[in-house]
Structure 1
Amino acid sequence: MRSFLFLAVLFLAAPLPEAVRADTTTAHAIAMHGSPKYGPGFSHFDYVNADAPKGGDLRLHELGGFDNFMPWLPKGTAAAGAGEYLFDTLTVRSLDEPFSEYGLLAETIEWPEDRRWVTYTLRKEARFADGQPVRAEDVVWTFKTLRDEGEPFYAYYYGDVEKVEALSERKVKFSFKPGDNRELVMIVGQLPVMPKHYWKDRDFADASLEPPLGSGPYRVKSFKPGKRVVYERRDDYWARDLPVMRGRYNFDRIIHEYYLDETVALEAFKRGDYDWRTETNSKLWATAYTGDAFTDGRLVTEEVQHSNPAGMQGFVFNTRRPVFQDPVLREAITYAFDFEWSNKNLFYGQYQRTRSYFQNSDLAAEGLPDQDELALLEPLKKDLPPRVFTESYQPPRSDGSGRPRENLRHAQKLLIDAGYQVRNGKLHTPDGQPVNFEFLLYRPAFERIVLPFARNLKTLGIDANVVRVDQSQFVQRLRRFNFDMIVGGWGQSTSPGNEQRGFWSCEAAERESSQNYAGVCNPAVDALVDKVIAAQSREALVTRTRALDRALQWGFYVVPNWYAPTHRFAYRAGLDHAPLPAYVPITGALDLWWNESAR
């Protein structure tokens, strides 16, 4: 859901909403700004094949294992697909618009001009898999349960919801706290709805392997704990003929096979053991997708351009750790990563350097702040690094030699000027403590990238001990912020909003399982996040997000990594898709694909 939650602002013209009453609108869909692309009489999204054949299997791979079917709990590991396949949401987003939501469980959406509340009227035909209707009380129960017992994400994302109430059996109203938060009328529609009656005699917080009851297009057919899960398409799925579902979820069965090792998983794909994968490793993409199966066309590779913001991936400093509380040290460490060498020798030239937390979008801060940004930043000046106002952030560049001597000399000067000393080849802080830390990994592919970085750090007298653990250990340590440095990141959308609190706020920094991995806690950042959430127009959103970007860039919370403007897919011949939409996620929007052999 997270990758999938954050979308953008809409400027496209479209038919007027079904009803406008004074300052209240009732419609089949809602856009962040302007009107939705698809009018009330649309038959299907443009990017689907409405006549796609239904049938066949789709076999996928996962790494690690699973121990429950509840992806919303702050513990355990949920089976892949459980949220998407088993549960419907009030609304669904379109993938060819930056930020529009269309009714799924909701037949209509009603909201006032100031967006201080939103009311959803549920469809009469909406049913859970046991035949019981989806009621407003289910929505109320779900919201309160996820907010109080679910992952911290929900508490931040829906933090400005003041009240949710069932006005009738099919009508539910969300009321919002005072303030400007125009996105809330959109994002509460992304709530997965669970059946209150099913959980009456069950403990929601108990992460178990009992497949839960939902209203979605699939049911759990079978599973082997931690190894395999099979989802079966429901012939009695209530929404299969709705315009928002036409042409989607075309496979009879979706099978997730689990592997403990990525290398083994790739070889299994080449052997034909599963059907589709997305590749994030540039070396593998350049060298491993070869052999008879690719030569004779049994397996296909495809690069897909997309318009998604790249967000930020980087080597994340846990600033909760004493060793990383000095921004001078964090800045100096960034000079030890030689991206140019890595891109040439490890990545086959496939990447570009990331410099912004909103990379690959118009939200990225570039150049010096303009007058509108300065109006936001000046009142916060005492809590911001001076260079926010005087310099445009750029990550260090090197000659690509792998031994970035000039960069390391500059880092050394930064440290000496700040009072650091090298004694017996070891860097010590101004108060005499040795500088060393642990770099925590779970993916072996990153070792080839991190080890040269650690070697350069050693030149500065810094010991970076690279430690690899299995995925379950990594997840548990991540949730407890029990690490010094990790490879981490934050996906972004073209319309940032409430999720930013979970990424950067002081409150999130103190709450385990939040996505504030870096431990960012700065009053100026908190204030700028609030400004982003309160943006009343696209222009204001861009200005405010750029200002936030500057504060994060100059905070040196990460060593920026890299990004690519394409997705890389590999799949067996016979799988097909219509031209994929602009905002296709890295997971491929597999609900749009089909099996040609099913014709």
Structure 2
Amino acid sequence: MATARQKQKDLPQMTYGQGINSKLIGAVFAAALLAANLGMAEPTHGIAMYGDPALPHDFVSLPYANPNAPKGGTIVSAEGGTFTSLNPHVRKGSVPWQLRFLAYESLMGRSYDEPFTLYTLLAESIETDESRRWVEFSLHPEARFSDGSPVTVEDVIWSYETLGTIGHPRYHGLWKKIETVSQTGPRKVKFTFADQDRELALLVGLRPVLKKAQWESADFENSGLDVIPISSAPYVIRDFDPGNYVRLMRNPEYWGKDIGFRRGTNNFDEVRLDFYADGSVQFEAFKAGESSSFRELNAERWENSYDFDAVQTGKIVKSIIPHQRPSGITGFVMNTRKPKFADWRVREALIAAFNFEFINQANTGGRQERITSYFSNSVLSMEAGPAKGRVLELLEPYADTLLPGTIEGYRLPQSDGSARNRKNIRAADALLTQAGWTVQDGLRRNAQGTPFEITVTLKQGDTESQSMMDIYQQALERLGIRLTTEVLDAAQYKERTQIYDFDMAYYRRGLSLSPGNEQMLYWGGYGVDQPGTRNWMGMNSPAAESMIAKLVSSTSREDFLAAVKALDRILTAGRYVIPIHTSSFSRLAHVKEIKYPERLPMYGDWIGFLPDVWWYEAQ
């Protein structure tokens, strides 16, 4: 494969043209493009998906940050699994996920107190036209890398081109939609888009900016632990022990510590990430005082397993952090690339046989609600009953291809809470028989006599999922289906799921209040064959892709909401995942010395919260 540097030689100096129009959404946006108002706008300090940014140009700090927070102290995070790389921008290797956010900075930064609003960071200002067909950034004159060198337009352009061609697949979609990127002044860079897509003006501000001089002579695509990246963010990697820990230190010379977006954030002197192979060992490390916080996902454990001395004496505090974001989807995903899961009736049968009400009572004391759709718990969630109004208008052209329940309305099968779950088992038996899977000699088989067998892939230490599978296995035995589990370490789990080598697997996908182009990475048909996407289920739905195209092109909040609600119906009625529980708040146990502001962000305990706006305060 040609490297990014080799490809650069064939392009004009400081201007990179893609010449690629999106096959998926070009036709959808053609009419909007012809009618677009290409009028100029004034440089500003922020940009919102709809309307204006909530904060003025001279804001003191983000509303959920404490501008007077003290600096100092150490926070230690107990992480599951291991790591084999320090480069979070390529597909190769297992990387501490926090490095994407702690060790790299972008032109703009996101406020997590607004659905989708960005404020200037490495950029001093942003300018775009009314149709958002282009966007121009002026770099902050003080922006510096951690080695003291200035962040340049050349660094920006090199980063975008490199990430978009040989970086992680999550960066490729945006690059294909950039028609040109050029230097328009000593500190100015302009992006022109190939498609009419209002979200692109925001997305292009969120790519990490790397130091070109560090990487241009290195093997970026295959880098691992051999290169410690020069940071463009408040933290730098001080040292690490492969597979055991990574230690990051706050850079006292960080250039942006006094700008509004950063004031009151990144308060710890040291952030240490310690890695453990087993989830239960992570919790024991927290109880022993070896880590600073623990995020509890199980309501039953929160009530009954936090009675150890440190909690009773007040050394550890239990905090509830509410949020307004969508539930996302958490559960067990079925890989429809496997023929046995291709029929929706089979997937519905497997969902019906999963006795959530009984499992929830056994595992959480019935304290947690079930996920009912991908965007449940938010204003983006599909409404109960038949589709109406604008949502129905969007779905009707695809009516012949949509699965039952998409337009009419779909609800997850519910049991009576008893262990036998007779009604749903009978329904599952009938669906499997209709799909050609009949019981022969005590086993469920297809017409060729192949038995129905499922292997569920779990990550080492995931004892809760294993407990669910133990109950589920007994239910499937009554249907003549054999279920086994395989437990993999973090590196194996990542590799296997990245290439979709599994039957069923534990699946968790967080969703925001501003879904956009990333939805194509999650649900787009190219993910059926392209490794490294989030489309673990292997769905290939032109209707879903059309809704994604509409939501990113919407010029009004109303049209955006209708497109997301329609997408939610397609995903939920697709029956790709056996959903489990969710919560409208997070449960965080933490040592009493680390504090967070009283004013919580709309997104709650999410990216940008812990450790970003916390601080250390000795008693």
Task: Report Cα offsets for 1:512-550 as digits up to 9, x if no partner.
Answer: 011100000122222222222222211111111111122
AA of the residue aligned to 2:579: P
Alignment of 1:459-498 (within 5 A): 459-498=478-517
Find 2:552's aligned residue among 510, 519, 533.
533
Alignment of 1:98-497 (within 5 A): 98-179=115-196, 181-209=197-225, 210-366=227-383, 367-390=385-408, 392-442=409-459, 443-497=462-516
Distance in 2 (alpha carbons) for counterparts of 1:273 and 1:315: 32
1:13 counterpart residue number? none
Q: What is the number of residues matched between the two proteins?
A: 577
Alignment of 1:38-77 (within 5 A): 38-77=55-94
Asked if the contact 2:328–2:374 (Cα under 8 Å) also holds between the matched residues in 1, the reply is yes
Find 1:503's aligned residue among 517, 522, 541.
522
Asked if the contact 1:451–1:466 (Cα under 8 Å) also holds between the matched residues in 2, the reply is no
1:17 counterpart residue number? none
Q: Which moved more, 1:100-109 or 1:557-566?
A: 557-566
Q: Which moved more, 1:475-484 or 1:543-552?
A: 543-552
Distance in 1 (alpha carbons) for counterparts of 2:618 and 2:482: 56
Displacement, 1:237?
Answer: 0.4
Distance 1:23 1:223, change over 3 A: same
Distance in 1 (alpha carbons) for counterparts of 2:279 and 2:188: 47
**Secondary structure at the counterpart of residue 494 of structure 2:** helix
User: Which TM-score applies when normalising by structure 1?
Assistant: 0.93
Displacement, 1:203?
Answer: 1.2
Distance in 1 (alpha carbons) for counterparts of 2:605 and 2:206: 16
Structure 2 unaligned blocks of 5 or more: 1-37
**Secondary structure at the counterpart of residue 222 of structure 2:** coil
Distance in 2 (alpha carbons) for counterparts of 1:510 and 1:208: 25
Asked if the contact 2:300–2:367 (Cα under 8 Å) also holds between the matched residues in 1, the reply is no
2:45 counterpart residue number? 28
Displacement, 1:597?
Answer: 2.0
User: Which TM-score applies when normalising by structure 2?
Assistant: 0.90
**Alpha carbon RMSD of aligned pairs, Å?**
1.7
Task: Report Cα offsets for 1:356-401 as digits up to 9, x if no partner.
Answer: 11111122112211131222112112221243232x2111111111
Displacement, 1:158?
Answer: 4.7
Distance in 1 (alpha carbons) for counterparts of 2:283 and 2:449: 48
Distance 1:122 1:326, change over 3 A: same
Displacement, 1:348?
Answer: 2.1
Q: Which moved more, 1:582-591 or 1:222-231?
A: 582-591
Task: Report Cα offsets for 1:199-257 as digits up to 9, x if no partner.
Answer: 12111112222211122111112211111111111111000111100011111111111
Displacement, 1:178?
Answer: 2.9
Find 1:82's aligned residue among 96, 99, 102.
99
Asked if the contact 2:41–2:127 (Cα under 8 Å) also holds between the matched residues in 1, the reply is yes
Asked if the contact 1:444–1:468 (Cα under 8 Å) also holds between the matched residues in 2, the reply is no
Structure 1 unaligned blocks of 5 or more: 1-20
2:33 counterpart residue number? none
Is 2:601 the partner of 1:581?
Answer: yes
2:616 counterpart residue number? 595
Identity of aligned residues (%): 37
Q: Which moved more, 1:244-253 or 1:410-419?
A: 410-419
Asked if the contact 1:398–1:407 (Cα under 8 Å) also holds between the matched residues in 2, the reply is yes
Task: Report Cα offsets for 1:25-44 as digits up to 9, x if no partner.
Answer: 32100111111111111111
Asked if the contact 1:157–1:499 (Cα under 8 Å) also holds between the matched residues in 2, the reply is no
Distance in 2 (alpha carbons) for counterparts of 1:157 and 1:362: 27
1:558 counterpart residue number? 577
Asked if the contact 1:355–1:393 (Cα under 8 Å) also holds between the matched residues in 2, the reply is no
Is 2:588 the partner of 1:569?
Answer: yes
**Secondary structure at the counterpart of residue 571 of structure 2:** helix
Displacement, 1:80?
Answer: 4.8
**Secondary structure at the counterpart of residue 258 of structure 1:** strand
